[in-house]
Amino acid sequence: MRRFGLIALALASVFVQERAIRAQGEPPRTVPDNRPPDLFPRPDDTRPAPRSGNPMAALGGLGNAIPGPGYSVSWNPARPVRNQDADLGIVRQDLSLSAPIWSEGGDRLFATASVKNMHIYSDALLPDTRRRFPKDLWNASLGLAYIHKFDNGWTGGGLISVGSASDKPFNSLREMNLSIAAFLRVPAFDDRDFWLFSLFYSPGGLLNFPIPGIAYQLNYSEQFRITIGIPFAVMWKPTPDWTFNASYIPLTNIRANLDYRYTDDLHFFGAYEFLNEAYFLSDRADRFDRFLSFEQRVFGGLKYTLFEAATLDLHAGYAFGRRFGEGRNQGSTLHDRVDIGAGAFLGAALRIKF
């Protein structure tokens, strides 16, 4: 089994924050800060960064579209493959980078980069075509994100990225992918809430057709925030030390996280995620087929602030509902399906913020 060393690499991501504005005589309600706007509230950063082939998941908020510098690794020990005399284990690695490259007035331009690797150690076969199960799956991309704040308080922008998700990335144009996203955030109710409009398209994604989104973000208070529509998200802070976050993006991007602040530097958390990814295998017979992976997981761990700009995340959990297969999109009946037994996993992540 190939072993991978830990890598920590980061570039600065600059976000300008503003104070919340409260209306007199009404329940305290907050205005989200003026960072690259979180279109859709996302689960707390104590969770490891999600992996997904759905561009909506990457753009759950523009904060997610512009990935913060960080590195994560996880290990799923070998588990039996259903209907085969074989086991399958996985080592995952994610490296994400971003940097502001231009800013003037209400305009900002960011460069982004991401490299993900899934190393599989197994003798399993793809059962229908009798091909060997891929040993490595890669997803590498470069992109630009643009944000503009209009004089009337509206915020708009977009993201374009070029990359390759495959067992042989950049092998040919058949393994290349172009992702495009656009958004518009419109203030509502005295600039304390927002209408959120978005459009996402990624030919190589799990849903390989344009995906529109419309939602209303209700910022009731610092303790409660909810986004109703597509996507859906909620943040609830019942006490100063406890925070609950959950989100849903069609069709299977589901995340939930419960965080407990033990000290300012040490947090404990528990979480649930439904992960999914999409790749183009270089030897596929149908050029439109994607090699899809699905996995659900429950896990818990801790997040420790190493110093002001860096946090270390250590977690362990149980993965289940694990399967791979080929199909044109997430709704297809999969062929060459491979089901993996449930089992424990370990993970760690390092993130840097400035």
Under 8 Å between Cβ of 292 and 178: no
* φ, ψ for residue 170, nearest 5 deg: 60, 25
Q: With CA atoms as reference, report the closest residue to 277 among 72, 65, 49, 86.
A: 49
Long-range contacts of 189-198 (CB under 8 A, 24+ apart): 190/23, 191/21, 191/31, 191/153, 192/21, 192/23, 192/29, 192/30, 192/31, 192/219, 193/217, 193/218, 193/219, 194/32, 194/219, 196/39, 196/40, 196/227, 196/229, 198/39, 198/56, 198/59
Q: Which two tokens stand for residue 226?
A: 């909810």
Supply the pLDDT for residue 249: 82
* Model confidence, pTM: 0.78
Under 8 Å between Cβ of 160 and 177: no
Supply the pLDDT for residue 260: 98
Supply the pLDDT for residue 275: 87
Under 8 Å between Cβ of 204 and 278: yes
Residue 34 carries which side chain, given as an amino acid letter? N
The radius of gyration of the chain's CA atoms, rounded to the nearest angstrom, is 20
pLDDT tens-place values along the chain, 354 residues long: 333 333 333 323 322 233 333 334 444 444 444 333 443 333 344 444 444 443 333 334 444 445 568 999 999 999 999 999 999 999 999 999 888 899 988 899 999 999 999 999 999 999 999 999 999 999 999 999 999 999 888 999 999 999 999 999 999 988 998 889 999 999 997 788 999 999 988 876 666 677 888 999 999 888 999 999 988 999 999 999 999 999 988 766 889 999 999 999 999 999 999 988 999 999 998 888 899 999 999 999 999 999 888 999 999 999 999 999 998 876 667 899 999 999 999 999 999 875
Return the SS3 of 55.
Answer: helix
Rounded distance, CA 74 to CA 295, Å? 13
Supply the pLDDT for residue 105: 85
Under 8 Å between Cβ of 269 and 258: yes
Q: Which two tokens stand for residue 354?
A: 């400035």
Strands (E) in 81-192, as ranges, are 87-104, 107-122, 125-126, 131-132, 136-149, 155-166, 176-188
Supply the pLDDT for residue 61: 43
Per domain, the residue ranges of the chain are: 55-352
